A and B are shown apart, each in its own frame.
Chain A
């Protein structure tokens, strides 16, 4: 029978700071990248809030 290996990961999540250090990302670029993630999450949060509002309004109209 053919085999497909599986792996159980028990190690903790690496921190972004440690990752940046390991990969040799400069402190300035690291700050820029963190800001990008913050912005992306904020944009996503905003989009989700709008979607929820639209859904709520539609449901209210149907009711």
Chain B
């Protein structure tokens, strides 16, 4: 996702990037309000210690509410399997999710469906190349920080992806 968004010239943000004492909900609201687009992957509703994690559907709700009072905000739904969202979140009837099938290539295809870059649309090949380079660098970053799901690892990945996208864009 980071590779794809950066290749489209976007700058991904995530709550985990801000290790501050601020209340988590305030941080999420602040980030959604500050961003033009938000992407919500409902396939990430997984069991954690036997209990399902509802963060992602909750965040979709916040994004939908944000888009109500600030129509410039666009939110996108992602799912691994087709038609599942109609069963799991029927309140969103009328909105289809982009299906990624739990794989990077399909996720990048979903992004090319959802996003159009006016100046130059990145090709699937370019997006996949970016993903491969970022995946290779992710190994070192994980070794450095112990995890990929922490503030520092996230920041490193975004800076690398943006740098790579900028250099490729300049070619």
Chain A positions within 8 Å of B, measured between CB atoms, are 2-16, 19-20, 22-25, 29-30, 33-34, 36-37, 40-41, 44
Contact = CB atoms under 8 A, between A and B. Distances in A.
A3 B118 contact: no
Contacts, number: 96
Q: Assign chain B's interface to a size class.
A: 35 or more
Contacts of B65: none
Interface of B: 8-11, 17, 36-37, 74-76, 94-98, 113-119, 133, 136-137, 140, 155-156, 158-160, 162-167, 169
A23 B158 contact: yes
A44 B74 CA distance: 36
Nearest to A24: B155
A4 B113 contact: yes
Contacts of A14: 9-11, 162, 166
A2 B156 CA distance: 37
Nearest to A44: B133
Scoring B96, B115, B158 by chain A CB atoms within 10 A of each residue's CB, the highest score goes to B158
A8 B74 CA distance: 11
Contacts of A7: 36-37, 74, 76, 114-116
A6 B116 contact: yes
22 contacts: A3-B94, A3-B95, A4-B113, A5-B74, A7-B74, A7-B114, A8-B116, A9-B115, A9-B117, A15-B162, A19-B158, A19-B159, A23-B17, A23-B158, A23-B159, A25-B159, A30-B159, A33-B163, A37-B160, A40-B136, A40-B137, A44-B133
Scoring B75, B98, B137, B162 by chain A CB atoms within 10 A of each residue's CB, the highest score goes to B162
Nearest to A10: B118
